[in-house]
Each structure stands twice: as C-alpha cells, then as structure tokens.
Structure 1
Amino acid sequence: MKIRGDLMINLGIIGTNWITKQFVNAGEETDSFKLAHVYSRTESKAQSFIDDLSKSNISISTDLEQFFSSNDFDAVYIASPNRLHFKQAKMAIEHGKNVILEKPSASNIREFTILDQLAHQKGVYMIEAARHIHEPIFKKVQEYVDNNREQLTGATISYMKYSSKFDDFLAGKKPNVFTTDFSGGALYDLGVYTVYDAVVLFGQPEEVKYQPEFLEDGIDGSGSLTLKYKDFDVNIIVGKTKNSYLPTEIYFGKKTLLLDNGGDITKVSEADDKKEIKEIPTTKSDNPMDSEAIEFARIINENDKAAYDKLFEYARKVNRILEQARMSAGLVFEADKEY
C-alpha cells in the first residue's frame, strides 16, 4: 500500500538503529520526509547508517549543539534510549526544530510537561511516534469499538516478546533496555503500545495498578497492568523475557473482537458465543511506519493544531498512566532522582 504526501520535510535523525531506518524509509516511500542530517556519537556509525541506505550528500554530526544548529533540517526524529529523550528533545525545541519522539517521550511526567511548555513557547510541534494507532488496521478496530461501545465490557491486551537483548542481560551485561539508568523495562517498551491501545480505544482509566516481575537490578522484565474504568477493567500483559501467542481480546457481551497482537496488529476477527470466528477485512502497509509518517508531515505542513492537540492529549494520558503504573509498583528510574 502506498500513501503519498504533498511536501517532503527535511529530516534530521538521532539513533542509527533498525527503527530509525524504518522511519527514514517510510518518510521517503510516502514523499513525507527526506533524510538530510544524521547525528551519532561516532562518525563511522553515522556513515555506516547512510551507506546502508545507499544515500549520499547527507550531513553528519557527532556534537549535538552542532547538529541542532544546522539549517539543513526542520524536524528531528529521536530514537535514542528512553533516558536521553528529554535532553535531546529539549535541545531540539530550543533550536526551533519540530520533534518526533519515539515512545515514550520522557522518563516521567515532569519531563513531559517541561517539553510541552517549551514547545508551546517556541511554536514547534512535539509528536510522540505511536505508529500503530495511525495504521488503517488500527483505525478499523477503533471504528468497531465506537460502533459497539454500548456493549463494551472490557478487554485483555497482550504483548510479550522475548528481547534480543535479554541474552546479554543474562550473560551479565547491562543493555539499556534492561536498566533503570536508561528508563528501560517491559512497561516502558512494549507496554507503551498496550497503554496507547487502552487510551485511544477506551479513554482515561480511573485507577492504575502495575504488578511487575522484577529482574535482579530492579527493572521489570514483564508484568501485568490493570486499568479500571467505570464499568469495566482492562487487563494488560507485557513482557520482554518471554514469548506469548495470546490474542488481544475486546469484549462486547456475547461477541469478542480478536486482535492477533497488542502492538503490531496484522489480523482482526470477530467471534460469537458459538465460537464462530469471522475475519474482518483490513489493510496494512509493508512498512508499518508509513501511516504515521504521512500524518506527521501533514500536521506540520498544514499546521493542523486540532489534529496535533488530539495526538498530544493521547501522549499526555499515556505518559501519565505509565508513571502512575511505575509508582504503584515502586519502580523508580534514575531520571526521577534528578529533580
């Protein structure tokens, strides 16, 4: 599926990993963003990233001040470890850049609020890259929930995937995604997708409680999160230390909506009380970031504040729920101690 934008935005990136490459490709596939500048701690990593994309004439910076002072890009996509989001986004905003932040935007709601206030002062956008809520397949789920909201009786959302970094952790190393130093763990990685599911589909919960399975250094390897709403509960299972093949289920009395995944949905079905399952036709791009790239570029190009405010309110609720969940479990990040 091809989605086309109208005006390509020059893009700077922080983070030379697979997810950054995917966003760069999505931006160019949809004529939304054009890579102009790469920041990395080492020039060799930046050059390797550029070569892997078969590109040329791309600027490289190994100094953040030099990077953000450049005039060759108008928006920056930040996909660094969670702990670094706040400092890097703050610098970007101070230099008048629009910011696209991989989720979660910040380590805590205090950082999120500071970035929000600064973005308003500088007149730029700060967008959290919750890519899956922009996909047509998620929109189909959202439409189904809206059309059957009176029968809604709860949900179970599951997203557990054995991390490629967990073997390193077991070997005594300290990958960023498994340390409180870098605001890692299951909840602040795969869990963000599931909380977005709940917020977009069901709204703001009244109560939040997280029960994690702690690893040796105090980070959560997996856990269960309960979001209590007025008339129903949403139960969430997340994990980076094991694989789960449980579907995500949304309940409507005798009917159940089945999603094959809580974060990367590829199939949606409806089941009735006779166990008859009917697949719901949907579409999905080969690159799951295509839809968010076209929407982010549209918001920036058209200065669509209404659409931006809606996305930002989702992000605010999600980041607040994440912190409430951590606090309910006594899970403290090093970033929390900086104030």
Structure 2
Amino acid sequence: MIKLGIIGTNWITEQFVNACDITKSFELTHVYSRTTQKAQQFIDDLKKTEIRVSTDLNEFFKSDDFDTVYIASPNGLHFGQAKLALENGKNVIVEKPSTSTVREFTILDDLAHENKLFLFEAARHIHEPIFKKIQEYVDDNRSELSGATISYMKYSSRYDAFKAGKLPNIFNPKFSGGALYDLGVYTIYDAVVLFGQPDKVGYTPEVLSSGIDGSGSLTLKYPDFDVNMLIGKTKNSYLQSEIYFNKKTLLMDSGGDITHIKLADENKNITTIPTQKSDNPMDSEASEFARIINENDQETYEKLLKYARIVNRILEQARTSAGLVFGADEEK
C-alpha cells in the first residue's frame, strides 16, 4: 500500500483513514498536528500503533516514511501546505476546495507537473457508484438535456457559535470560509462533471457580518440551458435536486451526499434507479486515487485536474462577482 501522511485530526480525516483501511489503498504512517496530544488522541481513536507524530510542518514533509499526504485543514491553509508538500516530493490529496484562488491553483498545478507528482482535489462524491449512475444517464440522454436545479443546504454546527459572537474558521474570510467554498463546491462539481464548463456564472449571496456568504443562489449558464443552485450553511433544506430531460426528470435527494436517485416520466410515474452506496462515502475516492498513482494513469488524472481547474475558476468568478473578499486575495 501507498504510505500516507495526514494533516488534520477531525472527523473527515478519520473517515478518510477508515476508507483507506477498508479499501487497502493507503497505509497511515505519519500524522501532523499542532499538538502531540491531539495527534496521539487521533491515533488512539483509530486504534493504531507505531504512527509517527510531527508538530512541525517542515519536519513532517522532510520525512521519508510517506509519499502521499492527505490535507484536511481549514480552506485558507490548503495552498501553503500543499505547496510545501509538492516542493518536498509528496503527492497531494487536498480536501475541496484545494485553493482559495485560481492563482494558487495554477501554482500547485504547475508545481505538480514540474515534479511529476499527483495533485488530487478530494471531491469524493463524483467517484461514488451512485454518481457514476447519474453520469451514465446524462450521457445516454444528452440530446434531451434541458437544465437542472441543484440544492445543498445544511445548518452548520458552527453557526450557533458565530451568532454568539465567535468566528469559526468556516465563517471567516481569512480562512476562505462560507457556503460557496464549502457545500457549493459539491454542486459545482455536479455541474462541471455532468454538463461541462458554463459560459457565464452569477452568484447572489446572503452575506454575514464577517463578510462571507452564509447561503446563496448560484446560476451557471450553458448555451442551451441553465443550472440553478441553492447552497447554504445557515439553514436546512429538504429540496430534491433535479436534472431535466424535457418531459422526464431525474431526481436526486441531495446535491452533495446523494443516497438515492429516481426517474419521473411525463405522467408523474416515479421509478427508483438501482444504485450502490457505501457506508463510508470516501471508499471510492481512496481506491481511485490509489489506483491512479499505482498505475500512473495520466489520462484519468488529467481529466480530474481539468474538472478541478474549471471548478476553481467558477468559484472565483462567483465569489468576486458577488464582492466576497478572502485573505488570500491580498497575497500576491
């Protein structure tokens, strides 16, 4: 198995490590955290032993006990950590969004190619069998495709703290927070993978006192149809997401964590499309990234990179059109 280092000791990191164990794709060997105590607690919770711990990033990346790093730190830290990883010869799997700006993504993209390394943006849902089933249906019925409405809104566990006067990273422009750069990434990936690059992008956010978007409506305009998106971290939505094929409609229960899909015909008859869904939604992602590295599958890798480039461009276009400013915008 590929030796893995990780940055971040939160629930999503634990989920990724568990997915690696289940799929036998990566083997955890090294954990970086700001404190030894936090790293050791994370390791103990995973019931692992003989895992090295670092509290210094330079020491972490100069070690030779892993060759791929998984980065799950706050958004605003992704670029600096991924850049340091690539400069030290490590493949990078970085949680979405991989960067805060197109400039940052371009630097990482160029650096990965120069050093013949892999740079993966961890948009895990596009690798799941259930999403592949949606993609298959869209491809088979593309001549009838006439638009989509995609919704992904979940009340953040950090929003109560924000309302109480605190400033969690996810609501902080310094750390590239907000609905668009969190749940919005999923919906944009949906559109890019299924429909391609849009012609125009427009975003209307509800801006919080910290200067980031708590929720908003995003429109991607294509030559023959529009894709409308509702995203948010300050409220819950139970709307289905829909893809339109003239008289028929493909129904998804979510724009991000998709668990089932159905098809409605012109007579309102609804049938369930059989799909597979793993207990751990990161299984498919871990397996695919490991396969690409082991087989040096440059064709698939470049396809994923193309998606990531487009998604990061859309994110920046949407954000800047709405006047949302990140700390990373000032770092030239």
After TM superposition, is the score higher than 0.5? yes
1:30-109 equivalences in 2 (<5 Å): 30-109=23-102
Q: Partner of 2:24: helix, strand, or coil?
A: coil
Misfit runs of 4+, over 4 Å: none
Q: Are 2:101 and 1:125 equivalent residues in the alignment?
A: no
> What per-residue deviation string (whole Å, max 9, x for no partner) do you get for residues 87-144 of structure 1?
0000000000000010001000000000111111111100001100000000000000
Q: Partner of 2:18: helix, strand, or coil?
A: helix
> Which structure 1 residue ranges, 5 or more long, are not aligned?
1-7
Q: Give the drift of 1:327.
A: 1.1
> What per-residue deviation string (whole Å, max 9, x for no partner) do you get for residues 299-319 of structure 1?
111111111000000000000
What one-letter code is carried by the residue in structure 1 that aligns with 2:197? Answer: Q
Q: Give the drift of 1:247.
A: 0.3
- Alignment partner of 1:304 out of 270, 273, 297: 297
Q: Which residue of 1 aligns with 2:221?
A: 228
Q: Give the drift of 1:216.
A: 0.8
CA distance in 2, matches of 1:329, 1:255: 34
CA distance in 1, matches of 2:234, 2:207: 11
Give the share of equivalent positions with the same residue, in percent: 73
CA distance in 2, matches of 1:338, 1:331: 15
What one-letter code is carried by the residue in structure 1 that aligns with 2:110? Answer: Q
1:1-339 equivalences in 2 (<5 Å): 8-339=1-332
> What per-residue deviation string (whole Å, max 9, x for no partner) do you get for residues 190-231 of structure 1?
000000000000000000000000001111000000000000
Scaled by the length of structure 1, what TM-score is found?
A: 0.97
> What per-residue deviation string (whole Å, max 9, x for no partner) do you get for residues 239-265 of structure 1?
000000000000001100000000000
CA distance in 2, matches of 1:168, 1:272: 45
CA distance in 2, matches of 1:182, 1:53: 28
Q: Partner of 1:46: helix, strand, or coil?
A: helix
What one-letter code is carried by the residue in structure 2 that aligns with 1:215? Answer: L
CA distance in 2, matches of 1:76, 1:52: 20
What one-letter code is carried by the residue in structure 1 that aligns with 2:143? Answer: E
> Which structure 2 residue ranges, 5 or more long, are not aligned?
none
Q: Partner of 1:181: helix, strand, or coil?
A: helix
Question: Alpha carbon RMSD of aligned pairs, Å?
Answer: 0.5
CA distance in 1, matches of 2:158, 2:313: 27
Higher deviation after alignment, 149-158 or 272-281: 272-281
Q: Give the drift of 1:174.
A: 0.4
Scaled by the length of structure 2, what TM-score is found?
A: 1.00
CA distance in 2, matches of 1:116, 1:232: 31
What one-letter code is carried by the residue in structure 2 that aligns with 1:267? Answer: H
CA distance in 2, matches of 1:216, 1:31: 45
